[in-house]
Amino acid sequence: MTAKKSILTLCAAVLGVFVLSLIPLAAEQGGGGHLKVKAQPGRTGVYLDGKYLGPAANFRRARTYAVPAGEHELLLREPRYEDYKTTVRIEAGRTTTLTQAMKPLQPPKPPFGKLRFVGFEKYCAVYVNNGYMGHCDEFNAFWQGLKLNPGDYDVKVVSTKGETLLQQKVSLAANQTIKLRAQ
């Protein structure tokens, strides 16, 4: 009975992978096209219609994404750069390429305080005042930390599964380090 269940589970998994592999083909046959994004810096996040597709560097490997034909909202986001938002038009059977150099924000000026994130998994996302700042592993060691000007901040840590692990208001003073711990 166990071998039979294993075979059925394996067949279901293979069928699922096969069906998922047809999604880009279905988009193309159903009048869709492809999107390719070239953005600098490469860690810039690419969002299409509010859905995160990955960092722009992924598109360098000749990767394109199957997208239904029509107009779509494209957002490029990187914490140290201005957001870039545009509408792209995808045509059936064609690849639309967008090339964009992100415009850097003015670097903050001292004094600074630091936030450290202790005990969170490596790729948990850190948001300050609803702005994405990076992953917890960038801000967890004693020599690291998220440098911010003194002030009041809303801080949120979100797991890779989208679960909010921490949401807290923080008042940060100059030369102060606040450790935020996983609960």
Q: How many CB atoms lie within 10 A of CB 34?
A: 19
Give 147-167 pLDDT, tens digit per residue.
999 999 999 998 877 789 999
Can you give the residue range of the structural domain that contains 75?
30-105
Q: CA–CA separation, 178 vs 146, rounded Å? A: 10
Instruction: Judge if 99 and 123 occupy the same domain.
Output: no
Residue 81: its pLDDT value, please?
92
Question: For the chain, how many structural domains are there in total?
Answer: 2
The domain boundary residue, chosen from 55, 76, 105: 105
* Residue 12 belongs to a domain: no
Instruction: Judge if 36 and 101 occupy the same domain.
Output: yes
Q: CA–CA separation, 83 vs 134, rounded Å? A: 15
pLDDT > 90 fraction of the chain, expressed in percent and rounded: 48
Instruction: Judge if 101 and 156 occupy the same domain.
Output: no
38 neighbors 61 (Cβ within 8 angstroms): no
Residue 27: its pLDDT value, please?
45
Q: What does the DSSP 8-state code read for residue 69?
A: S
Q: CA–CA separation, 68 vs 45, rounded Å? A: 20
* Residue 120 belongs to a domain: yes
- The count of residues in the chain is 183
Instruction: Judge if 100 and 118 occupy the same domain.
Output: no
Prediction pTM value: 0.59
Which residues partner with 39 through β-bridges?
100
> Which CATH number covers residue 44?
2.60.40.10
Residue 149: its pLDDT value, please?
94
* Residue 162 belongs to a domain: yes
